[in-house]
Amino acid sequence: MKKLLLCFAIVPFLAQPLEAQDSEPENATPNSIVAASSAGEWVVIDPEDLLVMELAPDAQGNPRRVVIQLIPAPFSQPWVENMRTLARANWWDGTSVNRVQDNYVTQWGDVTEEKPLPEGVEAPVAPYEARTDCVATPEIGSETYTVNCFPISLRDIGDDALYTGNQNPGFSAGWPIVHRGAGRGANDVWPIHCYGYVGVGRNYAPDTGTGAELYTIIGQPQRHMDRNLAVVGRIIDGMEHLSSLPRGSGELGFYTEDEAHLRTPILSVRLASEMVDAPSFEYLSTESQSFAAYVAVRANRDDAFYTVPAGGVDICNVEVPIRRVGEAPEE
Amino acid sequence: MKKLLLCFAIVPFLAQPLEAQDSEPENATPNSIVAASSAGEWVVIDPEDLLVMELAPDAQGNPRRVVIQLIPAPFSQPWVENMRTLARANWWDGTSVNRVQDNYVTQWGDVTEEKPLPEGVEAPVAPYEARTDCVATPEIGSETYTVNCFPISLRDIGDDALYTGNQNPGFSAGWPIVHRGAGRGANDVWPIHCYGYVGVGRNYAPDTGTGAELYTIIGQPQRHMDRNLAVVGRIIDGMEHLSSLPRGSGELGFYTEDEAHLRTPILSVRLASEMVDAPSFEYLSTESQSFAAYVAVRANRDDAFYTVPAGGVDICNVEVPIRRVGEAPEE
């Protein structure tokens, strides 16, 4: 029998509903919980929030499509709007992937750095955190509570949630976020870098970048990136096309001139809302009962393979389940 | 100017000593601290603890060498000894990399699962944790203290260290480990999965595997793997040869029969102690002053690029500096 080293990062729609029906609660797995979720717990992603990037085919001629979900308000919207403008202007067409640094990032954009930007696309003077005037009233441990006017589910993460000290990770509208909790800076809330998440490249602070130069995390995310770089989205399909590229031998993983042939051409980047036959995706509501159960199981794996529960989970290891619309498992 | 998105995962010997000499403490970076460390703070790795794996050359004919450092006692030694036996028997020669699952693992071994193991190589009945009879006397916050007879540096990690709740991450003899701290199970200590760390593939519990089938983490490590799988080493050179391989389309990322051509042949695996011209590596002592400063800076980046310190660091993001002997920066 194959040494399986069972994996629970399988995309949700590969889960087996039978397993979900047969399993006792103590044997539930993240996949069985997702498979058992109800259709009403899923939220379709707005086509205005989907960017479809077509890379040049691989050496065998296979197409390489990458789908990026843009982060919703109130986070990073000046950069997100720049990205929509760049896509509508076909600006990324003919650019390339220019940097791949192992256990850090894959970065793409205009390698010449001379391509004129569309009118109106400028580096915004904007914060990496969101702030609101509404009063934060956190109740740690309760299923949900309101902070900065966002419903945040922390059920069963509690003290075992992994982020930096005295900061509370949670989920809002399908995205992992962090807030400072009650008291000190409770009305600060910010998005975080996880594997496959997309951010805006920039130069030295306070330059904040425009959104034309982007990167995605291809290793373990580093917390010092949060609040220092703009998180604008995440790869929800085709991540392997960016994570498996050859690493660059130049400083910071940039391809050297001798490696110019390794730069992956970007054929096009389009908003799904402007495409014919655009792909459609949905995510499991982070306010749903199934998501709360999913978090609890991720924090306390106890099944046929994993017999010593960790008692906690890094917020980035709670991958929000996302699937193509129409690809839910059969009832 | 290139959008740098400055990276601090650069291998230490790329750091610039001048930067270290010029920088004020508040401007120190992990690289500048490593560059300023003294030769006496580095520890040469025993050739008996190094496995050199030669993969088949890539499509352009470039050699692909991967160096694995084996974990020292008291962790996972029954598997580690099996690995030395397998290397001495040239057992891995002619095997291959058979599984690459994005954001999870790359796995290698005998795809036929019929290759006879050398005499004496059997799945050990052994714990994933280490236990000792000595008394734990932790003093959280102090620079170092003794628990389970290991010196563990926690200075400046403290409450900001990221692991699961009520468990304390630290470093012992160059490796990140976790213990339960004072009180409950204080004499339990275990190694953890980080990016590039190597573990033993197995079937369902309580099968513990032999060490012939191995995997390495190519994404964000998942805490539920700790204490459920044997951590036996880490990739210290050539990780990109395992992390940038094409992902398998089969279940769990195994290459399907149609993808048999994607399996990367393993030409040989040898113990450095049995090689002529074996590479030699050294690591920055995790009990050194420079390492303590390195941890503090990783937890509180505050420099020309990162201006909002995170106030914490995941233990796996504190990559223990490792370099080739003789490749220290010029004084």
Which residues lie below 8 Å from residue A278, measured CB to CB, with a gap of 6+?
A47, A50, A52, A272
Pairing mode of beta strands A161-162, A313-314: parallel
Banded pLDDT at A153 (limits 50, 70, 90): very low
Cα A258 from chain centre = 32
Q: What pLDDT is attached to residue B206?
A: 86
Contact A144, A287 (CB under 8 A): yes
Q: Cα distance from A129 to chain B (closest Cα, Å)?
A: 11
Question: Which among B199, B215, B221 has the least Cβ separation from residue A220?
Answer: B221
Cα–Cα distance measured from residue B294 to residue A273, given in angstroms and rounded to the nearest whole number: 47
Contacts of B298 in chain A (CB under 8 A): 224
**How confident is the model over A228-240, as pLDDT tens digits?**
999 999 999 999 9
Mutate which: A1, A103, A204, A301, vs B, most B CBs within 10 A: A103
**How confident is the model over B284-306, as pLDDT tens digits?**
998 889 988 888 888 888 888 98
Question: Which among B4, B162, B220 has the least Cβ separation from residue A195?
Answer: B220
Question: What tokens appear for A90 in the block?
Answer: 């076909």
Helix or strand run (H / E) with residue B204: none
Mean pLDDT (chain A, rounded): 82
Question: Which among B5, B102, B165 has the least Cβ separation from residue A312?
Answer: B165
Phi-psi region of B70 (alpha: psi -120 to 50; beta: other; left: phi over 0): beta
Cα–Cα distance measured from residue A57 to residue A299, given in angstroms and rounded to the nearest whole number: 39
pTM of this prediction exceeds 0.90: no
Question: Which among A107, A163, A247 has the least Cβ separation from residue B240?
Answer: A247
Question: What tokens appear for B96 in the block?
Answer: 């291959």
**How confident is the model over A84-100, as pLDDT tens digits?**
999 999 999 999 999 99
Contact A252, A101 (CB under 8 A): yes
Q: Which of A161-170, A315-324, B57-66, B90-99 has the lowest mean pLDDT?
A: A161-170
Whether B150 has a pLDDT exceeding 60, the answer reads no
Q: For residues B134, B139, B145 and B147, what is the CA-based torsion angle, rounded to 10 degrees?
A: 30
Taking an 8 Å cut-off on Cβ atoms, the answer to whether B254 and A2 are in contact is: yes
Whether A63 has a pLDDT exceeding 50, the answer reads yes
Q: Cα distance from A197 to chain B (closest Cα, Å)?
A: 12
Nearest CA in chain A to B317: A222
Helix or strand run (H / E) with residue B59: none
Q: Cα distance from A233 to chain B (closest Cα, Å)?
A: 17
Cα–Cα distance measured from residue B247 to residue B207, given in angstroms and rounded to the nearest whole number: 26
Contacts of B202 in chain A (CB under 8 A): 3, 5
**How confident is the model over A290-304, as pLDDT tens digits?**
988 888 888 888 888
Pairing mode of beta strands B214-217, B105-109: antiparallel
Cα–Cα distance measured from residue A243 to residue B145, given in angstroms and rounded to the nearest whole number: 40
Question: Which among B195, B228, B312 has the least Cβ separation from residue A165?
Answer: B312
Contact A18, A234 (CB under 8 A): no
Q: What pLDDT is attached to residue B164?
A: 53
Banded pLDDT at A148 (limits 50, 70, 90): very low
Nearest to A58 by CA among A236, A219, A242: A242
Nearest to A213 by CA among A227, A199, A223: A199
Nearest CA in chain A to B111: A2
Q: Which of A129-133, B208-212, B310-314 has the lowest mean pLDDT?
A: A129-133
Taking an 8 Å cut-off on Cβ atoms, the answer to whether A307 and B228 are in contact is: yes
Taking an 8 Å cut-off on Cβ atoms, the answer to whether A228 and B305 are in contact is: yes
Contacts of B199 in chain A (CB under 8 A): 5
Question: Which among B3, B223, B253 has the least Cβ separation from residue A209?
Answer: B3
Contact A36, A46 (CB under 8 A): no
Q: Which long-range contacts (CB under 8 A, 24 or more apart) does A150-156 make?
A: A150/A177, A150/A189, A151/A287, A152/A177, A152/A179, A153/A286, A153/A287, A153/A291, A153/A292, A153/A295, A155/A292, A155/A295, A155/A296, A156/A292, A156/A295, A156/A296, A156/A299
Q: What is the ipTM of this complex?
A: 0.86
Taking an 8 Å cut-off on Cβ atoms, the answer to whether B311 and A228 are in contact is: no
Which residues lie below 8 Å from residue A168, measured CB to CB, with a gap of 6+?
A138, A140, A154, A161, A178, A179, A180, A181
* Over residues B66-70, mean pLDDT: 98
Mutate which: B1, B4, B5, B108, vs A, most A CBs within 10 A: B5
Banded pLDDT at A180 (limits 50, 70, 90): low
Cis peptide before B74, with omega less than 30 degrees from 0?
A: yes
